[in-house]
With several copies, the nearest count.
Chain A
């Protein structure tokens, strides 16, 4: 999930999710960056309206059934 968190961090900090930015963040977090993956994530996120996705994520019914132990 590192690539997703790093992307969300950038988005949240109002920075563009570019390959360089993503790599910087991941490297700073001590992640061994996989160039191809970075490219894939950046490309995929370009087609997504992140704000919209997050809005719906929050609006989601949090029927958080706690796992029955």
Chain B
């Protein structure tokens, strides 16, 4: 008897953990998509902004990896495929949306933070003209070094002209970091890093979740061009394609007229343009050696 109760004692799990696993299980059950996002290096106050912005689309819960793993296992998820992502501090996102859509939404939502020394700018950093409220003192030489024009006004430093101190992608001069904070300028973006999505029994690694829309656009363009080219090739009778086919036929006709020297009021331009182009090319080829008494456009 005593032994048994000891065993129970050993496995006793705090009530809050039991509750949390239960809650996580509920959320897993209720949502088609579960995404594990890394909070390492992510300012926690920003999580609040994301929650607020997307509260109709997703739920975000910060929890311990062990608890999530247990909830996932008890929900029938093959944990072996996600345990590699259950390290560090994570947030768990629950949604019924396609995980790629979630990823797009999150990447389009620009969250900004103050710069830290060593950061690169994600957008142009401009020190605006106006009072800084900074007392005249050693900061004047910092501004001077960064070629920010200043003057002293009532004992405070005033910037006389909007000045760019970093272009996007450039490192932000560490000396200016405190000034940026003072002026309320947040030039660095923070993004929730999605590590993996679980959706409809599919495991989708984070790097795949990042949709390159430009690539899709260029593929659409290429496909369309291919379709038009193929359509033109078989003279597919559809207005969209016929327009191009007619143009091609017309240019063929002009080319043939030009090459055979067939003159009509319509083709004269093509015929003589071709002849002239050739004449000028030939003139150009010898213009260095012969004074032709003409000006050769080059």
Contacts and interface: CB of A to CB of B under 8 A. Distances in A.
Interface of A: 1-5, 7-8, 19, 35-37, 39-48, 50, 53-54, 56-58, 60-69
B279 interface: yes
Interface string B208-238: 1001010011011111111111111111111
B133 interface: no
Contacts of A48: 213, 216-217, 220, 230, 233-234, 239, 242-243, 246, 256, 259-260, 263, 265, 268, 282, 285-286
B252 A41 contact: no
A62 B262 contact: no
User: Is chain A's binding surface mostly helix, strand, loop or mixed?
Assistant: helix
B261 to A, nearest CB: 4
Q: Which 5 A-B pairs have the closest CB atoms?
A: A63-B255, A57-B281, A66-B284, A43-B100, A57-B229
Q: Does more than half of chain B's interface fall in helix, strand or loop, or is it mixed?
A: helix
Contacts of A2: 261
Interface of B: 98-101, 103-104, 199-200, 202, 204, 208, 211, 213, 216-217, 219-287, 289-294, 297-298
Nearest to B243: A53
Contact of B285 (A58, A62, A66): A66
Contacts of A66: 233, 281, 284-285, 287, 298
Given A1-B267, A3-B292, A44-B234, A62 B260 contact: no
Given A43-B211, A53-B250, A62-B273, 4 more contacts: A8-B226, A41-B263, A43-B100, A44-B100
A61 B231 CA distance: 14
B104 A50 contact: no
A68 B21 CA distance: 58
A8 B252 contact: yes
B98 A42 contact: yes
Given A41-B234, A48-B246, A65 B255 contact: yes
